[in-house]
């Protein structure tokens, strides 16, 4: 593999670790735990793994020996910076426990476990990937592990390779599946443990015990750098409004964090849109107001941040999307009819005729391109692929329309817009110091959870706004994060997604300032992630984490 000068130097970085992990550790168990909601139901689904205690690892100073064990690792879902460090931390942790331990990587995500595609990860391979972005060491995928036939195929390959534990590096859906797998393997007495690691740039796998999902830090810093650059360009040329859609399938954490870092003129928060039941028209009118006020101050430019998941939070769009999901659901007669139509016009007309009156009106009011994007295939979890819906273009078009109306009433202002989508640019960036350190420790802790016989746990590192030496390593039972939710028409136990809290410190900090930022140009230019230099720059955590932890 040909490496850039940066990669060569960065590969020498030694992730900082909690002091508690420097020698041998002892397990300290807390009290029994409960799920965040629906305790009776969750208990029924997870009789073996429900109620387990929270675990903390503390320095023991007592030498310990561990029997040889083989472990399998899976990268699941979207890429997030730091995944390679989770794997290198896991590898180093296993080798420290017993140099004869082996780590196998299942290829291409959960499908690798089912299809028996794997590679043994040796130090030669691991060393190539230390402190690098991406998931290319073994690849990732979105195959859902949910059927017992898949679980049993997993047992076959684990038995063949002598694997005693599987580590699933994934988001809320993947770790929900990891917990189901842990329970199944426990009930079957298979002797295979399952441990999860909290991954996703979206930042929505977090709670009291999991302070952040890895990748969020690097992705937000990367987007904020780009947003800052665009702001400076906007402020120099003074002729464009830039509408920037930011990744985050559902929650608006990324948009909010980037807003706190860069101070845009507009930043929509999907959770607020849902809470206030704002219509698309109201959203457009609000943005137009800012455009007009700024133009009247002579500032015919601006930056608006749009969360990727917005459309699903606008009440009338949510109803429309739910209806489209049913209409296009696999096996439904309407889906078959839709697929058999050949032209876009036929498909659009069919959808308009089949939807309820209200949704049909909403669908018909959307530009053709957006309508088409809303009918594209769903992901394996049944979600609309919001990254393929050009909400930023939709909003530009609608603001232009609204301004045309105002111009007819005599208003004289110009508006010229550029659209951007920042998503994939940030998902595989070289992990920041925070993500390099955090991920390495998460992987290392996973090896300790395994060595101590745990299953159904998520690897956890707490106290993350303190220097890494003071971080608290441990494990949290996955069942503790679960509640019951309707999925594909059925109530299912799932990890509760962490949306932006409107009474949370990050949102409040933004809401307090946004009116000022809207009218008065207050841009901040965060600049690129720094890997060498003063710790105040290199080790800074996200503003979200700082605000949440100082509440
Ligand atoms: P995960 O939840 O699996 O981490 O994925 C996050 C994400 O990057 C979202 O922000 C985005 O909507 C989605 O993946 C895009 O999916 P894909 O990679 O399949 O295009």
* Residue pLDDT, tens place only, 323-382: 888 888 777 888 889 889 989 899 999 999 999 999 999 999 888 888 888 888 777 666
Fold: same for 17-215+431-487 and 216-427+504-549: yes
Q: Is 308 in the pocket of ligand 1 (CB under 6 A)?
A: yes
Q: Looking at residues 6-20, what average pLDDT do you find?
A: 97
Q: What is the mean pLDDT of residues 140-144?
A: 93
Helix axes 280-296, 505-519, angle to 10 degrees: 50
Q: What is the pTM of this model?
A: 0.94
**Annotated active-site positions, please?**
202
CA end-to-end span of the chain? 46
Q: Ligand 1: which of 77, 86, 254, 390 to mutate, judged by most atoms within 8 Å of the beta carbon?
A: 77
Please give the CATH number for the structural domain made up of 216-427+504-549: 3.40.50.460
Q: Is the CB of 446 under 6 A from ligand 1?
A: no
Q: How far is CA 473 from the centre of its chain?
A: 22
Residue 477 backbone dihedrals phi, psi, to 5 degrees: -60, 130
The protein residue whose alpha carbon is closest to atom 11 in ligand 1 is: 249
pLDDT of residue 92: 98
Give the whole-angstrom CA distance, residue 256 versus residue 524: 14
pLDDT at 161 over 90: yes
Q: Is 312 in the pocket of ligand 1 (CB under 6 A)?
A: no
Cα distances (Å, whole numbers) of residue 439 to 93, 202, 230, 435 = 13, 16, 30, 6
Over residues 41-52, the pLDDT tens digits come to 999 999 999 999
Give yes or no for residue 551 having a pLDDT over 90: no
How do the domains of the chain map onto residue ranges? Answer: 17-215+431-487, 216-427+504-549
- Give the contacts of 9 (CB within 8 A, at least 6 positions apart): none
Atom 12, ligand 1: which residue's CA is nearest? Answer: 249
Q: What is the mean pLDDT of the chain?
A: 95
255 lines ligand 1 (CB under 6 A): no
DSSP string for residues in 398-410? HHHHHHHHHHHTT
Nearest to 455 by CA among 190, 206, 200: 190
Q: Contact, 244 vs 304, CB < 8 A?
A: yes
Closest CA to 267 of 286, 239, 250, 249: 286
pLDDT at 33: 96
Q: 432 pLDDT exceeds 90?
A: yes
For residue range 502-527, list pLDDT tens digits in order: 999 999 999 999 999 999 999 999 99
What are 437-484's pLDDT values in tens digits? Answer: 999 999 999 999 999 999 999 999 999 999 999 999 999 999 999 999
* The pLDDT value given to residue 308: 94
Which residue's CA is the nearest one to ligand 1's atom 8? 78
Closest ligand 1 atom to 77 CA: 3
Q: How far is CA 513 from CA 46, 259, 507, in A?
A: 45, 10, 10
**Structural contact between residues 237 and 299, judged by C-beta atoms closer than 8 angstroms:** no
Fold of 17-215+431-487: Rossmann fold (3.40.50)
> What atom in ligand 1 is closest to the CA of residue 79?
4
- Read off the pLDDT band of 384 (50, 70, 90): confident
């Amino acid at each position: 593999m040909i490496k850039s000068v940066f990669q060569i130097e960065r590969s020498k970085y030694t992730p900082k670790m909690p002091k508690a992990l420097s020698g041998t550790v002892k397990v300290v168990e807390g009290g029994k735990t409960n799920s965040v909601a629906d305790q009776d139901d969750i208990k029924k689904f997870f009789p073996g793994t429900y109620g387990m205690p929270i675990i903390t690892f503390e320095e023991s100073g007592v030498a310990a020996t561990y029997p040889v064990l083989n472990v399998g690792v899976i990268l699941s879902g979207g890429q997030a910076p730091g995944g390679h460090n989770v794997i290198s931390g896991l590898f180093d942790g296993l080798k420290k426990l017993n140099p004869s331990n082996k780590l196998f990587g299942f290829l291409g995500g959960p499908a690798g476990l089912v299809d028996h595609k794997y590679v043994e990860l040796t130090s030669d391979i691991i060393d190539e990937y230390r402190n690098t972005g991406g998931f290319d060491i073994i690849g990732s995928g979105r195959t859902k592990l949910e059927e017992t036939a898949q679980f049993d195929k997993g047992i076959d390959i684990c038995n063949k390779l002598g694997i005693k534990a599987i580590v699933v590096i994934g988001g809320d859906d993947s770790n929900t599946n990891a917990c189901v797998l842990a329970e199944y393997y426990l009930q079957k007495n298979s002797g295979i443990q399952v441990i999860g690691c909290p991954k996703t740039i979206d930042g929505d796998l977090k709670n009291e015990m999991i302070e952040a999902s890895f990748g969020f830090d690097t992705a937000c810093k990367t987007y904020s750098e780009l947003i800052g650059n665009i702001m400076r360009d906007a402020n120099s040329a003074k002729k464009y409004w830039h509408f920037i859609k930011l990744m985050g399938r559902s929650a608006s954490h990324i948009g909010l964090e980037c807003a706190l870092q860069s101070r845009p003129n507009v930043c929509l928060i999907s959770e607020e849109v849902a809470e206030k039941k704002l219509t698309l028209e109201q959203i457009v009118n609000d943005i137009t107001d800012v455009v007009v006020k700024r133009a009247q101050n002579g500032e015919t430019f601006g930056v608006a941040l749009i969360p990727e998941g917005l459309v699903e939070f606008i009440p009338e769009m949510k109803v429309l999307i739910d209806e489209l999901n049913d209409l296009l659901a696999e096996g439904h007669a309407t889906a078959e009819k839709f697929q058999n139509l050949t032209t876009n016009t036929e498909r659009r007309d069919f959808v308009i005729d089949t939807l309820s009156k209200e949704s049909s009106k909403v669908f018909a009011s959307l530009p053709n391109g957006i309508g088409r994007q809303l009918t594209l295939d769903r992901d394996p979890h049944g979600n609309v692929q919001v990254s393929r819906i050009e909400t930023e273009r939709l909003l530009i078009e609608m603001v232009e329309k609204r301004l045309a109306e105002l111009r007819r009433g005599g208003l004289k202002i110009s508006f010229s817009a550029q659209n951007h989508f920042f998503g994939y640019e940030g998902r595989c960036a070289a992990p920041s110091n925070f993500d390099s350190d955090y991920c390495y420790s998460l992987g290392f802790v996973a090896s300790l959870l395994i060595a101590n016989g745990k299953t159904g746990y998520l690897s956890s590192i707490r106290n993350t706004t303190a220097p890494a030496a003071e971080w608290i390593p441990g494990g949290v039972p996955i069942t503790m994060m679960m509640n019951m939710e309707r999925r594909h028409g059925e109530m299912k136990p799932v990890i509760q997604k962490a949306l932006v809290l409107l009474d949370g410190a990050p949102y409040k900090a933004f809401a307090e300032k946004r009116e000022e930022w809207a009218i008065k140009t207050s841009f901040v230019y965060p600049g690129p992630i720094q890997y060498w230099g003063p710790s105040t720059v290199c080790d800074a955590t996200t503003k979200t984490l700082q605000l949440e932890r100082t509440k």
